Structure 1
Amino acid sequence: MVLSDNQDVLNMFPHGPARIVLAIPRPKSGKNIAAKERKVGRVPSILFEQENGQEGGNKKLISVQTKQIKKLVDHLGRSFFLSRLFEVEVRSEDGVVLEKIRALPRKLHLHAGTDAVLNVTFLRAPSSALLKVDVPLVFRGDDVCPGLRKGSYLNTIKRTVKYLCPADIVPPYIDVDLSELDVGQKLLARDLNVHPALKLLVSPDQPVCNIMGARASDQQKKSK
């Protein structure tokens, strides 16, 4: 994502404290139970642990509010939602807070035709946890990028990059600086500026973006 395309999203969810997601306990699983939950405006969800980047146990069945999750996904976009820590506040039917759990959305299942939220899986994120996260990239500096100012264009190869992150240092996004890129130059995964505690889980030589020459359509316009 180029910064100028979606500044509102970043303003809405800057780096900072976890936002609250409301939930209630769900005693059973199964297709019939899930269908009933969706009919009353809830999304069947699961909380579980991940140890050293591997999915573990300690599963807890919950249901979250459909309207709240849909609003978050619509405003943030899927990749930003899946890289954001939330505080899941589990309440009883009469509103009593039973448990507060810091968690990271791990999987989001949407209906293929309507984009309705069908399921959400959350990872518990205590300070001791190491979490695999596909962190979204935000491209900045396009307004002063030498290559772009010459009429070339940005070829975005990766929109997210996977890291193993300590739970206290999960970045909701990574800034990618384009301000010094000229025509033909590229940025690799190893060039990204991240906290030293983050472990890159893809090849450091994997290209993230490059500055390409003018598109064929643009060249044809100039020749006319």
Structure 2
Amino acid sequence: MAQCLRGKSAAAAGEAALRAAAPWQRTASASYHHTIQAVPRETAGPRAAARERRHGRIPAVLLSLAGTGPGDGVAHRKLLTADRKQLAEMLKQSPYFLSTPVRLQVRAGERSTAVVHSGTVLPIKVHRDETTGNILNLVMVQADEGTMLKVNLPIEFKGEDACSGLKKGGFLQKIRTSLVYLCPAEHIPPKIVVDLTNLDVGDRVLMHDIPVHPSLKLLSKNETMPVCKILVSKPVE
């Protein structure tokens, strides 16, 4: 009987601790990696930011555009605080964090369950400490449907194992690692894929050769610039 009571007591204590935990610490794992949990932040500046970091939180800023286009300027800046552990886990799980729209939930306070703001955002900048690599702050932009955003999309090269030019001993020269597109928020791809399968020695892939959603507009002064080439051999350094 004593063991049973102790077991019930421990379970009750565990449930109480779970209820007392911050919302991001009790969120289901499925949404944990797809929804940034944040709370409002009233003060800005280096001292306030350092205080947030000491308590395991990351200062964040949410930008809202004045219109639907990237040239419309910023209409509003909302100061927020995100949980450091959750943000670090999201960065670990998503190699394309800065090109993937995610959900944002802003609660009234750290222990509150009341949601004061929610929507889709695009993380556009993560500042890290150059020495330790620790996350210092996060910048996001509101990514409502229909909003046009300028996004730096990383390039992923695939098909190297099947590339005929590389099988002949050629060398893949990667000239660009990313391209900038103007994208509707609802059609932002996490990456741009370049297929090397059918390339032979001497072939190249130009910027405008890469297939993307028709709503995306490549932002480049010269769309005929190559993103990669198959050279006869590796260039001499």
Tell me the TM-score range normalised by the shorter chain: 0.7 to 0.9
Listed as ranges, the gaps of 5+ residues in structure 1 are 1-17, 218-224
Rounded to whole Å, the distance in 2 between the matches of 1:157 and 1:73 is: 26
Task: Give the RMSD, CA atoms, in angstroms.
Answer: 1.6
1:173–1:70 distance in 2 versus 1, CA, 3 Å:
same
Rounded to whole Å, the distance in 2 between the matches of 1:142 and 1:44 is: 41
Rounded to whole Å, the distance in 1 between the matches of 2:173 and 2:235 is: 14
The partner residue of 1:84 within 83, 100, 105 is 100
SS in 2 for 1:88: strand
SS in 2 for 1:57: strand
Rounded to whole Å, the distance in 2 between the matches of 1:181 and 1:161 is: 20
- The letter for the 1-side match of 2:61 is I
Relative contact order higher in (CA < 8 Å, ≥ 6 apart): 1
- The letter for the 2-side match of 1:146 is S
Q: How much has 1:87 moved relative to structure 2?
A: 0.6
Listed as ranges, the gaps of 5+ residues in structure 2 are 1-32
2:135: which partner in 1?
Answer: 117
1:53: which partner in 2?
Answer: 70
SS in 1 for 2:99: coil
2:188: which partner in 1?
Answer: 170
> 1:180 and 2:195 equivalent?
no
Rounded to whole Å, the distance in 1 between the matches of 2:132 and 2:175 is: 28
2:111: which partner in 1?
Answer: 94
Moved over 6 A (4+): none
Q: How much has 1:146 moved relative to structure 2?
A: 0.8
Q: How many residues align?
A: 198
TM-score when scaled to structure 2? 0.79
Q: How much has 1:216 moved relative to structure 2?
A: 6.4
SS in 1 for 2:48: helix
Q: How much has 1:73 moved relative to structure 2?
A: 2.3
> 1:147 and 2:165 equivalent?
yes
Point out the structure with max Rg over C-alpha. 2
1:191: which partner in 2?
Answer: 209
Q: How much has 1:215 moved relative to structure 2?
A: 2.6
Alignment deviations for residues 4-62 of structure 1 (CA, whole Å, 9 cap, x no partner)? xxxxxxxxxxxxxx921111110111111100000011110100123411341211100
Q: How much has 1:76 moved relative to structure 2?
A: 3.1
Rounded to whole Å, the distance in 1 between the matches of 2:63 and 2:235 is: 50
- The letter for the 2-side match of 1:211 is I
Q: How much has 1:213 moved relative to structure 2?
A: 1.9
Rounded to whole Å, the distance in 1 between the matches of 2:93 and 2:35 is: 15
Rounded to whole Å, the distance in 2 between the matches of 1:70 and 1:153 is: 36
Rounded to whole Å, the distance in 2 between the matches of 1:216 and 1:139 is: 20
- The letter for the 2-side match of 1:101 is G
Q: How much has 1:93 moved relative to structure 2?
A: 2.0
Q: How much has 1:159 moved relative to structure 2?
A: 1.1
Alignment deviations for residues 44-97 of structure 1 (CA, whole Å, 9 cap, x no partner)? 0100123411341211100111112222223434xx111011111111222322
Rounded to whole Å, the distance in 2 between the matches of 1:110 and 1:103 is: 20
